Amino acid sequence: MLFLTLISEAIRRGAEFVTLEVRVSNMAAQALYAKYGFTRRGVRPRYYSDNQEDAYIMTSPPLRDPAYRQQLLQLRDQLLARLAAEGIEILEEAA
Ligand SMILES: CC(C)(COP(=O)(O)OP(=O)(O)OC[C@H]1O[C@@H](n2cnc3c(N)ncnc32)[C@H](O)[C@@H]1OP(=O)(O)O)[C@@H](O)C(=O)NCCC(=O)NCCS
């Protein structure tokens, strides 16, 4: 929900893309980002100073693309349904 909210805020502010870095070993986060349409665009060698691990650069589709907006709405509905099934209600302002 935090990640989805960040994308929504980027759209609200008129951003064209969202881009991020993620550890090459962080498969869970990469899977989350891929689920939201992000793709690998490059590598930042030794980006993390604690263990010199590389980062993948992952970038969203164009935020203005109507098909991507539709995909985000579907993902949001799925997420809200899953959270509701777990008894977690998200206030509309936060969604
Ligand atoms: C990455 C992280 C934010 C995912 O959060 P989460 O609450 O587990 O997210 P969800 O359960 O809603 O899962 C969302 C998606 O993340 C991916 N995912 C989550 N856990 C996963 C795992 N153990 N293995 C592979 N993919 C995983 C899946 O794509 C999943 O979608 P799916 O359930 O439809 O397959 C969480 O693992 C986390 O907090 N990690 C530590 C901090 C971190 O790595 N932050 C990112 C730094 S770049």
Nearest-angstrom CA–CA distance, 69 and 22? 23
Q: How many helices (H) and strands (E) does the chain have?
A: 3, 3
Residue 76 shares a structural domain with residue 44: no
Residues with catalytic function: 21, 33
Residue closest by Cα to atom 33 of ligand 1: 32
Residue 25 shares a structural domain with residue 8: no
Residue 3 shares a structural domain with residue 33: no
Residue 54 shares a structural domain with residue 69: no
Can you give the residue range of the structural domain that contains 42?
Answer: 19-59
Residue 49 shares a structural domain with residue 76: no
Residue closest by Cα to atom 32 of ligand 1: 32
Q: Whose CA is closest to 15, among 4, 2, 6?
A: 6
- The pTM (predicted TM-score) of the whole model is 0.94
Residue 46 shares a structural domain with residue 23: yes
- Per-residue pLDDT band at 91 (split at 50, 70, 90): confident
Count structural domains, the chain.
2
For residue 92, pLDDT over 90 is answered with no
Residue 6 shares a structural domain with residue 31: no
